[in-house]
Amino acid sequence: MYSRVIGTGSYLPEKILTNLDLERMVDTSDEWIRARTGIVQRHIAADQQLASDLALEASRRAIDAAGIQPQEIELIILATTTPDMIFPSTACILQDKLGITGGPAFDVQAVCSGFIYALATADMFVSSGKCKHALVVGTEVYSRIIDWTDRSTCVLFGDGAGTVVLTQSNQPGILSSHLHANGSHNKLLAAPGNICGGKIQGTPFITMEGNAVFKFAVKVLEEAVTEAVTANNLQTSDIDWLIPHQANIRIIKSTAKKLGIPMEKVVTTVDQHGNTSAASVPLALDIAVRDGRIQSNQCILLEGVGGGFTWGSILLRW
């Protein structure tokens, strides 16, 4: 028994924040942002929109694409770094908004690798026969944890959600998953604040050592791709589409170059979305599915790296 993706969906908030808008907010420029990140614009959630709201719209689209009813979803795994609240989980809140009850629903926190972790976990449930249909979600409202006076981080991130529906199949879908973490690097990329006695201790905003993150990301993303193709007795030339975490175009290009994968085979959305953390891979996947780039029987490699550090890859047959 295997698990196979039968539906994808995504949602981006209506508000768009361009580099030119940021020029009026902080000491930066459109030219500087484009040259160093490849980002042109990003979407920002409305004041009343929560991570579960973005996830709801994306989930409805994925469920519709899968041709099933919400009540047929038996498992929800939701990846986010920006939950609606401390508890209950955003997955449980999403389950309620979808009108589903009974099956397990829980959050996964692996930052920008969150969707990779969540999809790998859902694959284990579905391929082992524990459930027939699973909804896997990546959703973020990073605009809530950004210091808009910090020009080194505020230009990078955006809000959005992406989802997939998995189902049982006797034909190979997800071929393998490879997950890793190294907590000794936990201070390089973090939002280290916490709540105690109703007050925030430390900073609730994103902090990042950019150069160290860049070097680490390129190294482990290359390793994650190599690990996946080797495990399946394939070559990188067998990959039809590489869908990496959309953090920075320079990281994406450097990784592709090291692997010998032409950029024509890499799905990129970072220019329009910015870094949407756990939502970036499913957002890019949905766009490539809906515009027709991804076709039946193609070999797709998903990969991500995030604070923790966490990283991983998933190889699947479409």
Residues with active-site annotation: 112, 245, 275
Q: Is the dihedral of CA 295, 160, 58, 77 positive or negative?
A: positive
As a whole number of angstroms, the distance between CA 167 and CA 132 comes to: 5
Geometric angle at alpha carbon 304, from 299 and 306, rounded to 5° = 175
Q: Quick check: bond before 282 cis, omega within 30?
A: no
Q: 77: which 2 tokens?
A: 């795994």
CA angle, residues 277, 285, 274, in degrees to nearest 5: 35
Which residue pairs from 295-298 have beta carbons closer than 8 angstroms and sit at least 24 positions apart in sequence? 295/240, 298/240, 298/241
Q: Residue for token digits 């910090």?
A: 150
CA atoms within 13 A on the CB side of 6: 22
Element (H, E) at 255: helix 249-259
What is the rounded CA–CA span in Å between residue 206 and residue 266?
28
Question: For the CA atoms of 255, 259, 260, 262, what is the dihedral angle to 10 degrees?
Answer: -50
Whether omega before 125 lies within 30 degrees of 0, making that bond cis, reads no
Name the one residue in this structure whose structure tokens are 């959050």.
107
Judge contact between 90 and 118, C-beta under 8 A: no
Beta-bridged to residue 208, according to DSSP, are: 189
At CA 251, angle to CA 246 and CA 255, rounded to 5?
A: 105
